[in-house]
Amino acid sequence: MKGLIIVEMIERKIYQIRGHTVMPGSDLAELYGMQTRVLIQAVIRNMHRFPQDFMFSSDYHVLS
């Protein structure tokens, strides 16, 4: 039962935006038990290990 709850929690943090499946970095960092900035630093350090479309950044203007 606990595994089902975890899957549902993760599914609630995944969004469809303009045809792309996304999860905010803050939610992903929370799943891994780290701060968002630490997750971003790790991704930048290891960029060669991730698909090219793994991460993007946007600002308020793009989201509005």
**Within a 10 A sphere around the Cβ of 37, how many other Cβ atoms?**
10
Residue pLDDT, tens place only, 32-51: 999 999 998 998 899 899 88
- What percent of the chain shows pLDDT beyond 90? 44
pTM: 0.71
Question: Residue 6's pLDDT band (boundaries 50, 70, 90)?
Answer: confident
Looking at per-residue pLDDT, the higher value among 64 and 11 belongs to 11
Determine the Cα–Cα distance for residues 37 and 53; give it in Å rounded to an integer: 19
pLDDT of res. 3: 66
